[in-house]
Amino acid sequence: MPAKQILYTGRVQGVGFRYTTKQIASGYEVTGSVRNLPDGRVELKAMSFDLDELDAFLTAIDESNLGSLIKEREVLSIPAMTGVRGFSIER
């Protein structure tokens, strides 16, 4: 199962980034989580049974109103996450 970790840099905290990402995720067959990092970045971990679905979800984030707030994104392939259901905001 394809899984990715994306680290977003820019004006990504205090602007509803996590909430909007969760809303976007509801339109896709993805599971995972999003959280703020202490250094000001946002970390997204997501997986799907279909790589195209996962890529479409990530593209939808970039094309949403969040896209203008993102300065950089670091995308890493990670092992499939176990025990993850749905898409959540981590605190």
User: Active-site residue among 11, 35, 36, 73?
Assistant: 36
User: Active-site residue among 18, 41, 85, 91?
Assistant: 18
* 41 is annotated as an active-site residue: no
* 36 is annotated as an active-site residue: yes
Q: With both helix axes pointing from N to C terminus, report the angle between 17-25 and 51-63 in degrees, rounded to the nearest 10.
A: 140
CA distance 62 to 19: 15
Q: Which residues are catalytic?
A: 18, 36
